Amino acid sequence: MNKNLCMVFIISALMLSGVGGFFLSIYLHPNDSVPKPEGVNGDVQLIETFHYPSTFVKQLKGDPNAGQKIFKQFCTSCHGNPPMIDIKAPEIGDKKAWHIKQRMGMKALMKITTTGAGAMPARGGCFECSDEQLRETIRYILNESR
């Protein structure tokens, strides 16, 4: 068989296979283009989300639960119970560990939080948080750890 004729045959077979597979998938799955979460009926619109820390922090001004929300957004990875990243940081709810920290006083805890300690980055990674928001977060952690 001629080399050129063999190449034409292979390319044609691959193209036919691809086109056939495409139309077969449309035929077999006509309405499955968007997966729906369990228990959801009707049309579902998927919305792409983005993480904008500065927008998040601005939305918390005047929010009485700001400390809790900041904790969940920035601190829970290492200080959660259980933590997602186990670096031996004191976990929220650990009365003994946080009692010792509480005795240090707010000024010392703020210094640790703003400058960082061990694996914790400065400001706990919340560079957009004001000092007052960081204090609210520390108060939240201490209150949850009594």
Six-digit token string for 132: 């007052």
Range scoring the smallest mean pLDDT among 10-19, 40-49, 72-81, 137-146: 40-49
Query: Using N-to-C axis directions, what is the helix angle for 131-144 and 106-115, rounded to 10°?
Result: 120
Query: Using N-to-C axis directions, what is the helix angle for 95-104 and 131-144, rounded to 10°?
Result: 140
Specify the pTM.
0.65
The arithmetic mean of pLDDT across residues 133-143, rounded, is: 97
Q: What is the pLDDT of residue 95?
A: 94
pLDDT digits (tens, 9 = 90+) for 96-125: 999 988 999 999 999 999 999 999 999 999
Q: What is the pLDDT of residue 23?
A: 83
pLDDT digits (tens, 9 = 90+) for 17-49: 888 888 888 787 766 555 566 666 666 565 656
